[in-house]
Structure 1
Amino acid sequence: MRAHFFGFLLLAGVSLPAAGQQKPTALPPMAHAPGYSWQASIAIHPKNPQNMVVAVSPGTVYYTVDGGNTWKTGTVPVVGEQGDARLISDGHGTFYYFQTNGPGITACYTSRDGQTWDTGTPVAMDNTKHNERVNVSADAKGSLYVTYTQFDEYPSEDAACRSSIWMTRSSNGKKWSTPKEMSQTAGRCNDARRAASGALAAVAADGKSYVAWLTGQTIFMDRSFDGSMWLSNDITVTRLKADAYSEPTLLVDRSKGPRMGSLYMAWSDTRSSQDDADVWFIRSTNYGDNWTSPQRVNDDALGQQYQPAMAIDPATGILYMLYFDRRATEGEGLATEVYLAWSNDGGNNFHNKKISTAPFTGQTILPERGYTGLAVHKGTIAAVWIQDLDGKPAVFTNTLTQEALGAAQIATK
């Protein structure tokens, strides 16, 4: 099982530097509620990039209307125990916050600015099962796709208990389609490493739809060319190596350029060396029929990199990756930093830059998901991550610009 941070945050007007200065700021923590796991998401208002929202599990939302110079708390009327949290902007100016509670029921809350939220609408799921590990994505029209793991029972020591990947979608966050099972390869319930997990949907500009997930150590994918007729068999994309690895992240390029329609996938595993986890990237230009050989994103000689979050700027097609990095760590130390990688040629080449300040103590067991978040819009890059601060978990944010990254890249040549 992966290690977890636990806690609860309070924020009151925290200052950040202007975009482009690349100086992260912590959102200070307070006393925590035991038993809650940490996840972080960030989204940018597409019509007003100065308005950004951060969501943190359990049940906390922060917003800025000045590009990250100041942050305030938003109030989401979450009911019940709080578990997984996810946040997304639909591309038209609405933020959607998804929150699971203890029984595995997920609700969707909407806001126009991150400050005030509606009372929420339940997402269509089989509530006789246990639904966890929720992810959300949006297509070019703003429709929402919620993917999740459905456990027959959770937790369970029954070796016959089944976990599977499901998806439901909505055009407005209020009315949801009947959930559809996406996976044919069953996962376990009694072993977290063998459960079906990490499902994420990606939809191309022309409606071609894809869902990728992890079962055991194999990344699978399903696809539909019309958004409704899905394959009857799981496509095997790749098998992850060794004991330390992450769930996959999947994107499709919707920018109006030569790589439009390309599929991008990233994860972390230790295929290079048992003690050296790296972030890996692959690309498909023929709808997932074939993929490039795994390419290492990080540019260090030796050191663990893990927990990649990936985003693509729909205006420019530039691909970004946020990840934890231990390249400065020697031996068995856990000194951890945060790096941003970007590629302007579809992942053929990546540039890497550290965007955290002082190293912090990472986890003994590399987390598989949820501790990093990334959003990009028209050259504005917004990053969020969970790290240790003075022995307590804290949320850090950093707002950058591609213009500043490009200038730094030129300066180092």
Structure 2
Amino acid sequence: MNKLVLLSLLSLPALARAQSAHPNVLISVQNSPNETSIAINPKNTQELVAGANLNNQYTSLDGGRTWTWRTLTSPYSVWGDPVVVADTTGAFYYFHLSNPGATSIGFPFIDRLLVQRTAQAAIPFSYRSFFGLNPPKQQDKEWVAVDRKTNTLYATWTEFDAYGSLSSRDSTRILFSKSTDQAQTWSPPRRISFYGGDAVDEDATVEGAVPAVGPNGEIYSAWAGPRGIVFNRSLDAGQTWLPKEKPIVSQPGGWDYAVPGIYRANGLPVTACDVSTGPHRGTLYVNWTDQRNGPSDTDVWLARSTDGGQTWSAPLRVNNDPPGRHQFFTWMTVDQKTGYLWFVFYDRRSYPDTRTDVYGARSTDGGRTFQNFRLSQTPFVPNENVFFGDYTNITAHDNVVRPVWTRLDNTQSSAWTALIDPTVLAAKGTLPDLTLQTYPNPAAHTLHLALDLPTAALAHIDLQTTTGRHVRTALHQQLAAGHQQLSIPVRDLAAGVYLLEMKIGNAVLHRKVTVLH
């Protein structure tokens, strides 16, 4: 017979409120990491590889719980802008800039783009090839996508006539190249932006081209510049492109803007396409940040297209907090098994100053609505005199979701991930700012629940087996709004893994709970 367990309602301690429902893992503090990138092996989601400026490489073979650190070398140096991707064979690729230092023969810094490869996550990377060499022009801000059907690699990036030049004679353009042989060789760079930009590396420069592959091999890419956020596509594996890029949306305030406490900030776009077998297959997404609501209110945005980029939705606001705070450095990915969208970004919704959290967001309905959740366990206070990097990153496959970000505590930078468990997010319904945390977990005698209710509501909490069999009702009670702590005795339960389900109105939250004796 199921036994009703009475719970004591206590005031929520500050420590419990500070905890994140998603365990945080420190990847490394060595070698001043920033500009983080991460990829997951779709054949084995326990294998992850990450990178960070300038030459940091990290490997995890246990789903992101522990990491090893290495520094990369190459014949032409490793000079930042790390991009890590994985193909369907389980091979990983690490792309980066170079600074060969051979100015005496006319090769300036960032003169080419380099790629390193490993066939298995556990094996160190080795130099593979370079592309984009076009002296004395400079190559910057590359990103790469993998065609999951053919494992073709597609790269887009910005070419500068002279990086940082104020001269009207110097400009920038978006280039494209591909490799069909696992990065051994590359096609000649092709210009895909009809309109160029200046070379200042500010709002009027064309930058931020991120490629994405569609379900039939289409190649899409969006970038920012003096015409706002624009888009181009190829329907024949990169042989031909639209003669002129299409506008997606204006970017009021430009892509280069100021955020207090941050060395420099940008709202460059991220492009992704759903190639899953889900209901939103083929939907194209572009994610960015801007200050269209004023310089004290940076927001995360998404535009979606269901016709291959012919038309686009109006901007949809991803962060769901009241106006007036900063959210910045967004990244987005699509879980190609579920079709869900996952986002990571920095967030100051809880503070009137420069204290900064890391938030995630998820959309299960093709980018129409968004569920926000805090990822970082504690905020950090950055130092505007220390370079913070230009991006975060996130990877997902079959509900294994791993973001990566830089934390900057005054002058100490560190790279972090979070072990996102999709079962802790609402399975149906939404209730803004509803949170539920469990600790200790595993529990031996008593399980504590830290509950944050935005409004008074009837709460129903059940314990179930992982197969959904009802074990007991832990609570069925009207609760007041605010912070509360609940305690559940578990010493009489058999050791094992249970699923805790909380229903608040139409919203449902789940937590995995482990009982040990």
In the superposition, the TM-score normalised over structure 1's length comes to 0.88
Instruction: Give the structure 1 partner of residue 270 of structure 2.
Output: 249
Unaligned runs of at least 5 residues, structure 1: 1-19
Instruction: Give the structure 2 partner of residue 135 of structure 1.
Output: 143
Post-superposition Cα deviations, 1:286-344, rounded to whole Å, max 9, x if no partner, equal 111111111111111131111111011111101111111010121xx211101110011
CA distance in 2, matches of 1:45, 1:56: 18
Matched, 1:348 2:368: yes
Unaligned runs of at least 5 residues, structure 2: 1-19, 100-108, 258-265, 428-434, 437-500, 508-517
Instruction: Give the structure 2 partner of residue 152 of structure 1.
Output: 161
CA distance in 2, matches of 1:81, 1:264: 31
Q: Is the 8 A contact 1:54 1:62 kept in 2?
A: yes
Matched, 1:176 2:186: yes
Instruction: Give the structure 1 partner of residue 113 of structure 2.
Output: 106
Instruction: Give the structure 2 partner of residue 7 of structure 1.
Output: none
Q: Which has the larger radius of gyration?
A: 2
Q: Is the 8 A contact 1:246 1:368 kept in 2?
A: no
Instruction: Give the structure 2 partner of residue 235 of structure 1.
Output: 246
Post-superposition Cα deviations, 1:249-291, rounded to whole Å, max 9, x if no partner, equal 1111101122111111111111123311110111101111111
CA distance in 2, matches of 1:198, 1:191: 11
Letter in 1 for 2:172: S
Post-superposition Cα deviations, 1:110-154, rounded to whole Å, max 9, x if no partner, equal 111154112321124324311111111111222111111101112
CA distance in 1, matches of 2:414, 2:388: 18
Pick one of 81, 86, 91 that aligns with 1:94: 91
Runs of 4+ in 1 over 6 A off after TM superposition: 365-369, 407-410
Cα shift at 1:76: 3.0
CA distance in 1, matches of 2:311, 2:65: 44
CA distance in 1, matches of 2:386, 2:357: 13
Cα shift at 1:393: 1.2
CA distance in 2, matches of 1:234, 1:67: 39
Q: What pairs with 1:321-360 in structure 2 (closer than 5 Å)?
A: 321-330=343-352, 333-360=353-380
Q: Do the aligned partners of residues 289 and 326 (structure 1) sit closer, same or farther apart at CA in structure 2, a change above 3 Å counting?
A: same
Matched, 1:373 2:393: yes
Instruction: Give the structure 1 partner of residue 479 of structure 2.
Output: none
Q: Do the aligned partners of residues 258 and 388 (structure 1) sit closer, same or farther apart at CA in structure 2, a change above 3 Å counting?
A: same
Pick one of 47, 52, 74 that aligns with 1:51: 47
CA distance in 1, matches of 2:97, 2:204: 22
Q: What pairs with 1:3-402 in structure 2 (closer than 5 Å)?
A: 22-30=22-30, 38-74=34-70, 76-79=72-75, 80=77, 82-102=79-99, 103-104=109-110, 105-111=112-118, 112-140=120-148, 141-171=150-180, 172-216=182-226, 218-227=228-237, 228-242=239-253, 244=257, 245-302=266-323, 303-330=325-352, 333-362=353-382, 364=384, 370-389=390-409, 391-402=411-422
Could you say what secondary structure the match of 1:403 adopts?
Answer: helix
Q: Percent identity?
A: 29
Could you say what secondary structure the match of 2:176 adopts?
Answer: strand
C-alpha RMSD of the superposition: 2.3
CA distance in 1, matches of 2:165, 2:294: 33
Q: Do the aligned partners of residues 31 and 268 (structure 1) sit closer, same or farther apart at CA in structure 2, a change above 3 Å counting?
A: closer
Moved more, 259-268 or 135-144: 135-144
Letter in 1 for 2:146: A
CA distance in 2, matches of 1:405, 1:191: 39
Letter in 1 for 2:286: M
Q: Is the 8 A contact 1:159 1:190 kept in 2?
A: no
CA distance in 2, matches of 1:392, 1:24: 17
Q: Is the 8 A contact 1:381 1:399 kept in 2?
A: yes
Post-superposition Cα deviations, 1:322-380, rounded to whole Å, max 9, x if no partner, equal 111010121xx211101110011001111010010111114659999743110001000
Instruction: Give the structure 1 partner of residue 457 of structure 2.
Output: none
Moved more, 365-374 or 387-396: 365-374
Q: How many residue pairs are counted as aligned between the two chains?
A: 388
Could you say what secondary structure the match of 1:279 adopts?
Answer: strand
CA distance in 1, matches of 2:250, 2:73: 41
Q: Is the 8 A contact 2:27 2:58 kept in 1?
A: no
Cα shift at 1:163: 0.5
CA distance in 2, matches of 1:106, 1:209: 20
